[in-house]
Structure 1
Amino acid sequence: MSADLLQLDVDTLFEQHGVSEIDDVQKKIQTVVENKREELRTMVGERYRDLLKAADTIAAMQTSAGTLIEQVHCVQGNCRSLNEQQLLGFKTTPTDTEVLLHKRAVSKQLSNYYSTMVQIKLLSSLPELIWTHIDREQFYAATELFIFSRHISTGLQLDAKNTLMQRLPVALKQWEILRPFHITIKQAVLGVLERELLTADIAVDCMLSLLLLDKCDLDQVLQTFLQLRSTAYFNCLQSQGSDAEKDKPRRVKERILASLHILNGTIELLDTCLLANGLLFKRLAECVAPTAAPSINRMDSSDRQLAHLLPDIIAGYKPQFEKPKLLPEQMCDALLKWMSKINSLADKQLQPIFGLVSSMQTIQDIKLAAGTTVKRDYAHLEQQLTLPQAQLDFYTLKYMPLINARVREIIRSSWVAAMQQTYKDVVKLVENISQPTPMQIWREQSDDLPLSLAAALSDQPKRLANRTKGYEAATITLCAQFDTQLASIVQELNVLLQEQTTRAEDKLALINFLRETAEQQMTSYLTQLKTLRLQERQALLQALRNTLALIELCPHLKLCFCQPSSWRQWAGNLTVAGAEHWQRLCALIEEELLQFWQLIVDDILASHSCTEKLPQTITHDVVLRDFALWQTLTLEQRDEEHDQSVQSTIRIPSQPRLSLQTYLHQLIHVLNNAVPQTLPSKVLQAFNQKLLAQLLAHYEQLSAAQCTKDSQNIALQLYFDLKFLERVFAVNREDRSLYERFHGLQRSLRDCIDPFDFELFAEHITTHVSRSAARLHGELGVLTPPHDSTQVANASSLSHEADPNVLCLSSSGSTSLWFPLLPIVMPQAAASATLPVERKSNATESDKGATTPTRKPGTRKNDASSKSKSGAASFFGMSQEWFR
């Protein structure tokens, strides 16, 4: 029934039976379960009762056996006594000698019996005692007891033919129990010698155990010891710690420090134990000394009380050692082999472990922990073993190079990660470039200016200054992220530089490596940027702005080259070299980005070429449409012969051609759309060079035309244009090629003009060129050089005595300003007073001529300088012309 209940299918039961039937089945199952439980209790109770009964029976048997043995002894005694009484009348009286011999034989037999029994008892007690010493890690005592047991067993086996030994096979069986202790003790000793933490006492105890157990010489023990220490070193690097920590993963720092402790501890153990008069030799001398206690003294007190029953060869047994010898040459060879093996293990295992160190703080902790370890002087050991000097300094020879290499790798990998992330961000900004919005940069915002002096003096980004440089919010964010990553690198390196245990030369090498890495990564960044082969204007502008911003907005990038003040004590001569490398990097970036600017400049000039915008031939329609209204001047001269004045009228150009002005303004408009801020001076210079080269080619074509040679006015207008361009673009003798082309072209145009007329026009043309350049200089400010030297004739320079601008605008890694200040033009009345040609008050440039006497009047002094300055001018120390 129970089998059927156990094989029930629950699903089938609920499908085929009702609730009441299911309840019955459940009750039956419960009944069966209770029955099984009762059977189990009964069975267990019966077995337990049988066990107790068997124990009682054994105890009773033991008592009965003791009583029986006692009674047998009594029967034997009674029988012996009765036998002697019955044979008393038949015995002959023995002599005294026979009695004495008989007593001696009986005594010897009895002594042999007791001795055998005691030896068997010792053999039965030794296993537990040996295990006790092994558990206490007293391996020499365990080995001595094992050798003592082997000595006892050997003696009993030699007496195997004795009748008593034949009746007592327990001696042989007991030796079979003791025999495996040879392997057990040796394995325990080898396991202890593989530990990370090993004291000198335990190491000496293990070496003595090996010497006694295997009867080997000291050289073999030394090799075994060094081999096991290399195994401990390997296990430590493999993250195999002590038994209590095997299940826990060990930290990298702990593994490195533990491995170093193993190496230093091994050398310390060799120095303490195996050198002359070492601890091992002292312990050996104690063991072989005549006063050394015999091995039986290691037995329990109950066993030692029976020592008088043992023969002297057992009772007085002591372990014997051959006099160990360890030559310095043997120790040197073994140590060199061990160090070679350690070197190979360190190359394969230690270097990957250092590769897992990810922070400078961990390295500093390692160095501090290694530095706090008490370093022993092994000079005497190296001298005795004829080893090279500092050969045993593992920290300096093995760990310091790996630490320095890891520090360099952390710096390099951090720099690579930061630079790659920055490059990806730059590429993303270049790819997602949108239509430029120049007004966005110049639109005033509420957070442009700092709200307090503390905010202005803080290291927060100067929003207005950044926007004047053309840096958008995305660029500023990119630079902030890059600078944060560099700040972490500098901070981590500073942790090591402030650490006292690091040598000065290592600190100097790390500073130098940081600079080299920064220089290498920045150069690699520029190379990757050039491989993009950007062609679109906005993409080029975005790339070069972001690159320039890395220098402007990342102060920690400069710190990688020009060390902080806290590093100067270690940097030494590197400070000047770092500044030179920084300037060289800035120059390299400017040079590489100048190529980007060249592409932008070439694109602008290609799309707005003067050959397309300026008329190629000058016809009458072009003259009427293009030549601006000339100024008519009336010259009054005195005829000395007739003593009367003679007036003559001349017409000279007053401004460049309208097409030239329109073309220059179109270029300015294109530049403003392409570049929301003014071009850098180098870029502007390159742009002007190419622009002037195109314009000169255009004017050379016009000067060679027949219409120019036939018309003096056309030649005069072209000559005026060239003088204007030369003045506005500040072409001087330093730019020899342009200067010679300008003047050569001017000479060719001057040849087309009547010499007498040109002599009359020359002074007025110069004056008009100066006026036109001063008037249009502000409009052409985007194209004009930042170091403009345009002057009104015989007037003071338009530059200020001091720079009145309180905002330092921008610099691209050098001293050149991107945003030149607008010129301050003097008022017309003040300017006209200094001109060599005095204009009439009722004459204008457009419709009236100016009467100019041939004799130049003296220049009038300007009274403006004597006026009192305004309050603002007095506050800023500026001249009053600044506010006009």
Structure 2
Amino acid sequence: MARNSYNLLELDVDKLFEDHKIEEIIEIEKLLDAEIERKRVELRSMVGDRYKDVLAASDAIKNMKTISQQIVDNIQTITDVCEGLITKNEDKEVEDEVKVDSKQDEERELIVLVRLAVFMNDQIWTALDKGDNLTAAQFYLLAQHIHMGLNLTKKEYLEKLPLLKQIGANLQTLRDLIFSRIKMKLEFVEITAEETSSNLNALLLLKNQSTSELLNIFIAHRKTTLNSVMNTSHSSVRVQVSAMVKCLITTIHLLHDCFVCYGDSKKGLIWQQLQNIVEDSSIPTLSKIELPVTPLLIYIPDIVKQFRPKYKSNIEAPTKDKIGLEDWLEATKTSIKSGLEQSLKLVTNVKGLHIIREEALKIELPNQWERICSESGLPETFNVWYYFFQSLITERARELISKKVFSIIKELEKDIGEVLKGDLKTERGETDLRWYSWVEETGDVSRTENTHIGLSMKTLGFSQNIVTLCSKLDGKYLELLVDVSQYLYGREYEDDIIILTHLKNRRKFIDREELESHLRVESTKNSTTLTVFLQDFLKSESNQTLLVARSLVCARFLQAITTLCPHFNKCCTFNGTTDDWSRICSHFTQSSLQFWDKWVDKCAQETDRSAKRQFSDVGVCSMISILLRWDTIEIQEQTEEKVFKSQIKVPLKPSLLLHHLLNKLNNDVSHVLPHTLPKQIHVQFIERNVELILGQYRGLLGRDLNQNQALQFLFDVKFLTTFCIPRENVRLVALSQEICDKLRGKIDPFDLDVFYSYLQNNVKRAVLQSQAILGCLLPSSAQLANLGVGEKFKDQEKDPSVLALSVPSIAFPLFCTFAHQIPSQKTTAVANVQEVAKVSSPRPTKSTPKKSQDPTAAIRSSAAALFGGLTTDWFS
């Protein structure tokens, strides 16, 4: 019959027996029992899921009730026994103890020791899990003591204890584990003095080390800790160095507190803890353990109950003389140097070193740090950063400065090379700067600030190429100064930086003078390689015109560096020492003169070719093409009878031969802006070319010259000598005198006696008239002083004919802005001869805004500023 045929929950028993047979009723009963069991299982499952915690608590409460009842019964039993013993003692003194079977006592003692040995293994594990290595070491020593006692038990009992061997093996494993945990703990970077002392004492109890051995072990573990910090991957070098500094500070602090003295005590924490463990008055090791409640505890032997660890050596803290940290200091310094070598290479600027130093110095030192260092045998002013790291940071700063200065010069050489490889022979090239200097541009004078940068560069003869190169060079040195400023002075760089270092921070900048000196030396040393590069660059140039153009760029660039690079100057003059900068300027000046020599050589070669071509034909027939109008002079001769009048003719101007050559020289000088020429080069240019011209006149002496030719050539030589040859040049003066003497020999002595004084006057007159046009060929401002210029100029002040005649000078070509005056036989127009003040480079100053003004007025002011910038006494 199927189960589903009946509704088991609504069965009617009476009707069931009426409708069904016995067999069917038995089957229904089975189905009913199965359904009841199924419902019971479902109920249990439901209750178990929903009320699991309640059932567990109920079971626990039942167990607690049973255990509590047993404890109460045991206490009552003990109370009854004690009361019985007290009652019996009051009645009668019992002299004989209860006799116990001695064999049974030995077995119970053996059992309790075995159980205690197993229990001690668990206690050691528990202590290790808590990180209490000192307690684990004490428990190990007690367990080892118990194990040794069991090994001394009778052989008949040992045979019954195979567990004893396993206990011994476990103890050896635990010993190794304790050592491993101690090593791991001692090599933590951040660890307290209490933890360090506990672990060292654990090591001391297990190995019975001496004081010096224990100290060496501590230092060895701290070395390992430092190496792990160095070799660990950090986010930056700054973090790595800070971690190392913290590690070393912690090491010194731990050494002092653990070995020297701790708190108010004169002993280190190690010896204080050790005394509390090994002294006779200290608590026995077994008393530190909470033993399980068992009647067998009374059978534990007193030798186990009273066990305390022993330390064979004397408990004596080392003095600072015995600590001996010298070897550790030197070894640590060596280790740090090798460990940080690669890391510091990742720092590519001095500012990064400044950040590292700042971060390290922010680390707080322990209280009473000076006392800690003194008591530990270290100097009172000992500092981890300055002792271990400062020299490395300084050395890295030196390397970075050297690399940066070297890279600056290399980048400059590259930039110069690009300029020199460019087209310098164009109309707007470097060989003729008149297009640049004499053309006014809108950028010459600022309309908003009181600056004349463009105009100033033009007056100095520095083209845009030169200015750009100097700007790049000075900008690189400015970047270098900005980079080192915070490290050296603790502040951003300023042009007029004032060093005011507080006393407490003076040690922080201990290497400032060293790095300043290094920067000065490196800047000086590397600057000399620049001239070598320029000279080597020009050696391979075969084109004479291009060679001269490049030489002029090099010469002007070397002149401009000393003027337009104030930050380069700053790098070479630290601490007020100007000797290095003076040597650099002198070196650049000498090198610049060597480059100018190439221009002088080229001009001299051109002069020589031109002179040879023009002097090749000076015959009688060709003289008409080179002679100018002569001066006609009427002379009188008084006799007794009457007066004889006659006319003579003497040269009035130099010949066209000499005039063309001097114009050519004047143009050559004008192309390179004569006011920017070095004095030495200017004089050298004049002397070399004049010597070549005199050589041509000397070559004419071997020809058959008539008197007119001799007079004109004599006039030319005397004009050239008076105008261009410095009086201190004895060699050229002697050469000129030799030529003049031989030319006078070709003139009739009587005529020469009549003509010579007039010829001399005409030479002076021609020289004075030519000074305005050919003024840049005067070797010095005093060249014409012997002609009486000053006195004649004073006479002309009463009735001046000079409208705006500029002062003749070697420093700047003269403008032809004078009114024409017909020279008489007795007087000539004379200009005062003075030196033109040298144009000094404007010192970089802060630009000050100026009021807005009319644009045309600004243009007019720029023109006036040009003349004002060239010389302060241009017009006179």
TM-score, normalised on structure 2? 0.71
Match of 1:462 among 428, 438, 453: 453
Q: Quick one: distance in 2 between partners of 1:417 and 1:533? A: 22
Q: Quick one: distance in 1 between partners of 2:471 and 2:295? A: 88
Alignment partner of 1:594 is 2:593? yes
Match of 1:476 among 467, 478, 502: 467
Match of 2:741 among 741, 744, 747: 747
Alignment partner of 1:725 is 2:720? yes
Alignment partner of 1:773 is 2:767? yes
Alignment partner of 1:448 is 2:444? yes
Q: Hey, what does 1:487 align to over in structure 2?
A: 478
**Offset at residue 485 of structure 1 (A):** 1.3
Q: How does 1:116-155 map to 2 (within 5 A)?
A: 116=113, 118-120=115-117, 122-123=119-120, 125-134=122-131, 138-155=132-149
Alignment partner of 1:418 is 2:418? no
Q: How does 1:102-251 map to 2 (within 5 A)?
A: 102-103=99-100, 105=102, 108=105, 111-112=108-109, 115-116=112-113, 118-120=115-117, 122-123=119-120, 125-134=122-131, 138-159=132-153, 161=155, 163=157, 169-170=162-163, 172-238=165-231, 240=232, 248-251=233-236
Q: Hey, what does 1:551 align to over in structure 2?
A: 562
Q: How does 1:562-573 map to 2 (within 5 A)?
A: 562-563=573-574, 571=575
Q: Hey, what does 1:338 align to over in structure 2?
A: 328
Q: Residues 201 and 646 from structure 1, CA distance in 2 versus in 1: closer, same or farther, beyond 3 angstroms?
A: farther
Report the identity percentage.
21
**Offset at residue 398 of structure 1 (A):** 4.3
Cα deviations by residue, 1:187-237 (Å, 9 ceiling, x for unpaired): 222223333334332222221121112222222222222222222233333
Alpha-carbon contact 1:190-1:228 (below 8 Å) kept: yes
Match of 2:536 among 531, 540, 545: 531
Which letter maps to 2:717? L
Alpha-carbon contact 1:774-1:792 (below 8 Å) kept: no
Which moved further from structure 2: 145-154 or 347-356? 347-356
Alpha-carbon contact 2:634-2:647 (below 8 Å) kept: yes
Alpha-carbon contact 1:770-1:790 (below 8 Å) kept: no
Q: Quick one: distance in 2 between partners of 1:100 and 1:199? A: 54
Which moved further from structure 2: 433-442 or 144-153? 433-442
Alignment partner of 1:281 is 2:286? no
Alpha-carbon contact 1:139-1:209 (below 8 Å) kept: yes
Which letter maps to 2:467? I
Secondary structure at the counterpart of residue 224 of structure 2? helix
Q: Hey, what does 2:812 align to over in structure 1?
A: 820
Cα deviations by residue, 1:61-109 (Å, 9 ceiling, x for unpaired): xx9xx99xx9xxxxxxxxxxxxxxxxxxxxxxxxx99995643648735
Q: Hey, what does 2:515 align to over in structure 1?
A: 510
Q: Hey, what does 1:254 align to over in structure 2?
A: 239
Secondary structure at the counterpart of residue 632 of structure 1? strand
Q: Residues 753 and 196 from structure 1, CA distance in 2 versus in 1: closer, same or farther, beyond 3 angstroms?
A: farther
Q: Quick one: distance in 1 between partners of 2:760 and 2:810? A: 30
TM-score, normalised on structure 1? 0.71
Which letter maps to 1:509? E
Secondary structure at the counterpart of residue 651 of structure 1? strand
Q: Hey, what does 1:814 align to over in structure 2?
A: none
Cα deviations by residue, 1:591-627 (Å, 9 ceiling, x for unpaired): 1121111112212322442543331453102321112
Alpha-carbon contact 2:128-2:178 (below 8 Å) kept: no
Alpha-carbon contact 1:479-1:550 (below 8 Å) kept: yes
Q: Hey, what does 2:31 align to over in structure 1?
A: none
**Offset at residue 314 of structure 1 (A):** 2.3
Alpha-carbon contact 2:204-2:214 (below 8 Å) kept: yes
**Offset at residue 771 of structure 1 (A):** 3.1
Q: Quick one: distance in 2 between partners of 1:504 and 1:824? A: 62
Which letter maps to 1:217? S
Q: Residues 797 and 690 from structure 1, CA distance in 2 versus in 1: closer, same or farther, beyond 3 angstroms?
A: farther
Which letter maps to 1:416? F
Q: Hey, what does 2:708 align to over in structure 1?
A: 713
Q: Residues 546 and 745 from structure 1, CA distance in 2 versus in 1: closer, same or farther, beyond 3 angstroms?
A: same
Secondary structure at the counterpart of residue 362 of structure 1? helix
Q: Quick one: distance in 2 between partners of 1:508 and 1:305? A: 82
Secondary structure at the counterpart of residue 533 of structure 1? helix
Secondary structure at the counterpart of residue 796 of structure 1? helix
Q: Residues 882 and 382 from structure 1, CA distance in 2 versus in 1: closer, same or farther, beyond 3 angstroms?
A: closer
Q: Hey, what does 1:266 align to over in structure 2?
A: 251
Q: How does 1:625-774 map to 2 (within 5 A)?
A: 625-635=625-635, 637=636, 639=638, 641-642=640-641, 645-669=643-667, 679-703=677-701, 705-708=702-705, 711-729=706-724, 731-774=725-768
Q: Quick one: distance in 2 between partners of 1:281 and 1:123? A: 26
**Offset at residue 762 of structure 1 (A):** 3.7
Alpha-carbon contact 1:433-1:539 (below 8 Å) kept: no
Secondary structure at the counterpart of residue 704 of structure 2? helix
**Offset at residue 520 of structure 1 (A):** 0.5
Q: Quick one: distance in 1 between partners of 2:98 and 2:874? A: 147
Secondary structure at the counterpart of residue 142 of structure 1? helix
Q: Residues 465 and 98 from structure 1, CA distance in 2 versus in 1: closer, same or farther, beyond 3 angstroms?
A: closer
Q: Hey, what does 1:812 align to over in structure 2?
A: none
How many residues are aligned here? Answer: 714
Q: Quick one: distance in 1 between partners of 2:274 and 2:749? A: 125
Q: Hey, what does 2:615 align to over in structure 1?
A: 615
Alpha-carbon contact 1:360-1:496 (below 8 Å) kept: yes
Alignment partner of 1:364 is 2:364? no
Cα deviations by residue, 1:555-580 (Å, 9 ceiling, x for unpaired): 101112234xxxxxxx2xxx2xx323
Q: Hey, what does 1:73 align to over in structure 2?
A: none
Which letter maps to 1:196? V
Alpha-carbon contact 1:824-1:882 (below 8 Å) kept: no
Which letter maps to 1:254? V
Return 5+ residue gaps in structure 1 as ranges: 1-48, 71-95, 241-247, 564-570, 802-816, 840-858, 860-870
**Offset at residue 522 of structure 1 (A):** 0.6
Cα deviations by residue, 1:153-212 (Å, 9 ceiling, x for unpaired): 33334337465x765655543443443222222122222333333433222222112111
Alignment partner of 1:295 is 2:285? yes
Q: Residues 129 and 783 from structure 1, CA distance in 2 versus in 1: closer, same or farther, beyond 3 angstroms?
A: same
Alpha-carbon contact 1:616-1:702 (below 8 Å) kept: no
Alpha-carbon contact 2:713-2:743 (below 8 Å) kept: yes
Q: Please, what is the CA RMSD of the aligned residues?
A: 4.5
Q: Residues 787 and 502 from structure 1, CA distance in 2 versus in 1: closer, same or farther, beyond 3 angstroms?
A: farther
